[in-house]
């Protein structure tokens, strides 16, 4: 029944409201009742002092007259006075007729110095307040008065409060319901938007809110961010799938083309042999590409545990440079390297580092025309080892520089050179997995410079 937050809020708010209203009522009621009692008692005491004075000055007879006057003035049913002598004999009293029951009960009532009490008398609807006072000569003065007005007043108060209480509770409950519904309106909006995202409407923006409150705005903002992120991921996924499909189709088409040409051509063994060799080469390239794609995905997802080896980056770079020297020479490129003789250690995967260096070197050689130059440099600070690969090649323009590390990105000028557009993204994934950074600076037609910085570790003992 109390399924929604609004309903629960309304219930709690109304309960709290009712408890507070009741507490306030009780407080005022108790104060009011005590105040009324005090007032009555003060009046009784003043009257008692007045009568005692009269008794002293004018005796019982004077008191009798005053009792009658006072009783007539105030109403014989409303007040009653009497004076009882020390011997128990009645000395003076106002009209007793309306007070017989009280008088009967007073007989067995011992009186100390002075006392005030409330009495319920049979035959009377409302209680009476009774003052009894022992005077100096031992006689007892008694004054009774109805407290009907006080009780009527308190009853009025109770009735007024109970009516007001239900009206207030109804208004408060309704108010609480509307306020909480309004507060939850933003949540409902965001929920509807989330449901719409879940239904696949990723491009639908969240409806702008008006005064929904900071919490709801934060929630909406978090949803909007999530929505953008999902949209971006899906877009990236679509691009990657497009590129993979495209890049796989080309070699497969080539393989098919070769097979077709061979079949329709001269039927000799040499032609079939050539085709087989070409098919194997294409297949190897395909497999390498698929492996790189898988590896990239695994590194990005963090599912591939990074080997925890101590790697001497200086040695890795030296070996790579020596490996690439012949290729550079073949293309008329001057390959130079400056690598310290002492080992520079990092922690991670030797094979991964070899691939990073090989990819950077391969690109440098690939994108540098004959007569150009490629430089390799390794240096170290206290906590970082830095590798720099620079070339005097074709360079990269500003726009392309933003994308060179993206998967499958290939510069316009690179279409003629073989490659998959995966080398730099793999290099970046490996470097990032090693807690390092890879950056590029370049100027078109002047050359490019790639920098890789990795956390250095102190040489292991031994």
Which candidate, 157, 161, 132, 142, places its Cα nearest to that of 35? 157
Cβ atoms < 10 Å from Cβ of 130: 21
Q: Should residue 227 be labelled a site residue for ligand ADP when binding is judged by CB under 6 A? A: no
Question: Of 137-145, 187-195, 267-275, 417-425, which part binds ligand ADP (CB under 6 A)?
Answer: 417-425
Query: In the complex, what is the shortest distance from the CB of residue 387 to ligand ADP, in angstroms, rounded to a whole number?
Result: 14
# binding residues, ligand ADP (CB under 6 A): 22
Query: In the complex, what is the shortest distance from the CB of residue 245 to ligand ADP, in angstroms, rounded to a whole number?
Result: 17
Residue 177: exposed, middle, or buried by beta-carbon count in 10 A (0-12, 13-18, 19+)? middle
Q: Which is nearer to ligand ADP, 47 or 407 (CB)?
A: 407
| Integer-rounded Cα radius of gyration of the chain | 52
Residue length, the chain? 462
Measured between alpha carbons, how far is 394 from 414 in angstroms, rounded to an integer?
10
Of 411, 428, 434, 453, the one binding ligand ADP by CB under 6 A: 411
Quick check: helix, strand or coil at residue 33? Answer: helix
Of 328, 348, 352, 423, the one binding ligand ADP by CB under 6 A: 423
Q: Should residue 420 be labelled a site residue for ligand ADP when binding is judged by CB under 6 A? A: yes
Q: What angle do CA 182, 185, 188 make, to 5 degrees?
A: 155
Question: Of 47-55, 106-114, 277-285, 387-395, which part binds ligand ADP (CB under 6 A)?
Answer: 387-395
Q: Should residue 424 be labelled a site residue for ligand ADP when binding is judged by CB under 6 A? A: yes
Q: Which is nearer to ligand ADP, 217 or 362 (CB)?
A: 362
Query: In the complex, what is the shortest distance from the CB of residue 305 to ligand ADP, in angstroms, rounded to a whole number?
Result: 25
Q: Should residue 394 be labelled a site residue for ligand ADP when binding is judged by CB under 6 A? A: yes
Query: In the complex, what is the shortest distance from the CB of residue 376 to ligand ADP, in angstroms, rounded to a whole number?
Result: 12
Measured between alpha carbons, how far is 374 from 336 in angstroms, rounded to an integer?
6
Please give the residues from 314 up to 373 whose contact with ligand ADP meets the rule CB under 6 A.
359, 363-364, 367
Q: Should residue 299 be labelled a site residue for ligand ADP when binding is judged by CB under 6 A? A: no
CA dihedral 424, 430, 433, 437 (to 10 degrees): -50
Which candidate, 255, 259, 254, 283, places its Cα nearest to that of 271? 259
Q: Should residue 393 be labelled a site residue for ligand ADP when binding is judged by CB under 6 A? A: yes
Residue 328 main-chain phi, psi, to 5 deg: -60, -45
Q: Which residues would be at the binding site for ligand ADP (CB under 6 A)?
A: 359, 363-364, 367, 391, 393-396, 404, 409-411, 414, 419-425, 448
């Amino acid at each position: 029944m109390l399924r929604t937050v609004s309903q629960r809020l309304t219930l709690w708010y109304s309960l709290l409201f009712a408890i507070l209203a009741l507490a306030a009522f009780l407080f005022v009621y108790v104060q009011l009742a005590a105040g009324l009692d005090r007032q009555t008692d003060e009046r009784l005491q003043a009257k008692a002092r007045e009568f005692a004075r009269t008794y002293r000055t004018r005796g019982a007879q004077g008191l009798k007259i005053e009792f009658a006057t006072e009783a007539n003035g105030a109403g014989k049913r409303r007040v009653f006075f009497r004076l009882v002598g020390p011997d128990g004999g009645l000395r003076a009293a106002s009209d007793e007729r309306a007070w017989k029951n009280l008088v009967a009960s007073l007989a067995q009532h011992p009186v100390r110095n002075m006392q005030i009490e409330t009495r319920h008398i049979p035959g009377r609807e409302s209680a009476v307040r009774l003052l009894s006072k022992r005077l100096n000569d031992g006689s007892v003065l008694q004054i009774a008065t109805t407290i009907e007005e006080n009780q009527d007043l308190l009853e009025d108060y109770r009735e007024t409060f109970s009516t007001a209480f239900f009206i207030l509770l109804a208004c408060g409950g309704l108010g609480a319901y509307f306020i909480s519904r309004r507060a939850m309106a933003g949540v409902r909006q965001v929920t509807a938007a989330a449901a719409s995202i879940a239904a696949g409407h990723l491009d639908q923006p969240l409806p702008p809110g008006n005064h929904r409150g900071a919490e709801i705005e934060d929630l909406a903002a978090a949803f909007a961010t999530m929505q953008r992120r999902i949209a971006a991921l899906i877009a990236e996924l679509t691009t990657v799938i497009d590129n993979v499909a495209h890049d796989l189709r080309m070699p497969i088409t080539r393989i098919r083309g070769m097979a077709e040409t061979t079949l329709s051509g001269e039927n000799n063994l040499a032609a079939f042999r050539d085709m087989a060799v070409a098919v194997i080469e294409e297949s190897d390239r395909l497999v390498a590409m698929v492996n790189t794609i898988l590896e990239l995905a695994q590194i990005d997802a963090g599912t591939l545990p990074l080997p925890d080896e101590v790697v001497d980056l200086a040695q890795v770079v030296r070996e790579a440079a020596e490996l690439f020297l012949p290729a550079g020479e073949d293309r008329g490129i001057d390959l130079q390297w400056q690598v310290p003789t002492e080992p520079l250690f990092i922690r991670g995967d030797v094979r991964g580092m070899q691939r990073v260096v090989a990819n950077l070197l391969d690109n440098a050689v690939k994108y540098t025309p004959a007569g150009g130059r490629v430089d390799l440099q390794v240096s170290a600070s206290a906590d970082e080892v830095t590798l720099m690969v620079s070339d005097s090649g074709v360079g990269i323009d500003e726009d392309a520089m933003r994308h060179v590390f993206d998967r499958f990105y290939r510069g316009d000028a690179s279409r003629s050179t073989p490659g998959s557009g995966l080398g730099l993204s793999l290099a970046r994934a490996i470097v990032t997995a090693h807690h390092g950074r890879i950056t590029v600076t370049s100027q078109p037609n002047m050359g490019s410079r790639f920098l890789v910085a990795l956390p250095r570790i102190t040489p292991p003992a031994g």
